[in-house]
């Protein structure tokens, strides 16, 4: 942008994520620097993995990160330039790849759960400023509607995916929850291969025990008192267990399911 040219928003796909419980980790002086190092490593790992999986796409020339405290924003600018066209489905394909890797590694390696929202809309971005309707709307999905550790997608984008003829839409794996919101199905994205369902078996034999161990370790730290905040935390972990158990069943690895009853306090029931 030249010195006299006013800033202008561009059409973007924006994913706004919140690391659940990390605010408390930041405020804990004993853990603050340790968790800063985790965020730094996660950032580097996701970039390295995306560059390894998609070397020709050069995703990080167009997909930008902004990390501030316990919030992360992924931004994919769209373009109609015939020499470098990035339309909505292609933009979502790039965003999903980054978001899934971040969500998976944050959970499996560090026991961190994420909540978020994905939208399309106008956004202005430079080294100093992130501004626009897409940021506000994606934050609204995360803060007011997602509730559980899921990254929900704007319904307009969901319908666009359903109707799109693009072959890339097959990799945009979503699930629709009982409340009608569609969310990024990152276990499905990582573990299910529609072309060859058996080729993932050796990977799942390694990954599912790690995930099961992460969940059991997390459950040992979940509060069991009757405070409303504690009940809210337990509800989020129950959702995560049910989501994980669903992935185990879909891939034929039921033996790695986790009993949702492990998270119950005396006064609560369980809903599947």
Confidence of residue 266 (pLDDT cuts 50, 70, 90): very low
pLDDT digits (tens, 9 = 90+) for 179-194: 999 999 998 888 776 5
The whole-number pLDDT of residue 24 equals 66
* CA separation, residue 172 to residues 88, 127, 268 (Å): 12, 30, 35
Q: Domain map of the chain by residue range?
A: 10-191, 195-272
Is the CB of residue 133 less than 8 Å from the CB of residue 97? no
* Secondary structure percentages of the chain, helix, strand, coil, to 5: 50, 20, 30
Which pLDDT band, with edges at 50, 70 and 90, does 57 fall under?
low
Q: What's residue 92's pLDDT?
A: 92
Average pLDDT over residues 234-247: 92
Residue range 220-248: average pLDDT?
89
User: CATH code for 10-191?
Assistant: 3.30.70.1230
So what's the pLDDT on residue 271? Answer: 44
Distance CA 266, CA 215 (A): 20
User: How far apart, in whole angstroms, are the C-alpha atoms of residue 170 and residue 162?
Assistant: 10
Token output for 112: 């961190």
Q: What mean pLDDT comes out for the span 247-253?
A: 89
Q: What is the pLDDT of residue 239?
A: 94
Which tokens is 252 given?
A: 């034929």
Instruction: Mark residue 124 as left, alpha or beta (left: phi above 0; alpha: psi -120 to 50; beta: remaining).
Output: beta
In this prediction the pTM is 0.88
Which pLDDT band holds residue 264 (cuts at 50, 70, 90)?
low
Q: How confident is the model at residue 272 (pLDDT cuts 50, 70, 90)?
A: very low
Residue 127 backbone zone (phi > 0: left; psi -120 to 50: alpha; other: beta)? alpha
């Amino acid at each position: 942008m030249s010195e006299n040219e006013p800033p202008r928003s561009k059409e973007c796909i924006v994913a706004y994520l919140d690391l659940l419980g990390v605010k408390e980790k930041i405020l804990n002086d004993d853990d603050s620097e340790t968790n800063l190092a985790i965020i730094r490593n996660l950032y580097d790992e996701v970039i390295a993995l995306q560059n390894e999986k998609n070397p020709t796409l050069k995703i990080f020339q167009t997909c930008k990160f902004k990390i501030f405290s316990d919030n992360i924003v992924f931004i994919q600018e769209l373009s109609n330039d015939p020499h470098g066209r990035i339309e909505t489905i292609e933009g979502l394909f790039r965003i999903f790849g980054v978001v899934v890797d971040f969500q998976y590694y944050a959970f499996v390696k560090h026991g961190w759960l994420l909540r978020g929202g994905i939208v399309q809309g106008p956004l202005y971005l430079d080294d100093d400023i992130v501004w626009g309707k897409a940021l506000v709307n994606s934050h609204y999905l995360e803060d007011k509607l997602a509730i559980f550790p899921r990254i929900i997608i704007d319904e307009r984008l969901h319908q666009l995916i359903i109707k799109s003829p693009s072959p890339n839409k097959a990799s945009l794996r979503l699930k629709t929850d009982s409340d009608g919101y569609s969310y990024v199905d990152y276990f499905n994205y990582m573990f299910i291969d529609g072309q060859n369902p058996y080729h993932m078996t050796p990977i799942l034999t390694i990954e599912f025990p790690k995930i099961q161990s992460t969940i059991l370790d997390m459950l040992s730290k979940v509060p069991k008192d009757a405070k409303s905040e504690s009940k809210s935390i337990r509800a989020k972990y129950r959702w995560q267990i049910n989501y994980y158990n669903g992935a185990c069943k879909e891939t034929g690895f039921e033996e790695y399911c986790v009993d949702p009853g492990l998270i119950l306090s005396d006064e609560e029931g369980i809903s599947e």
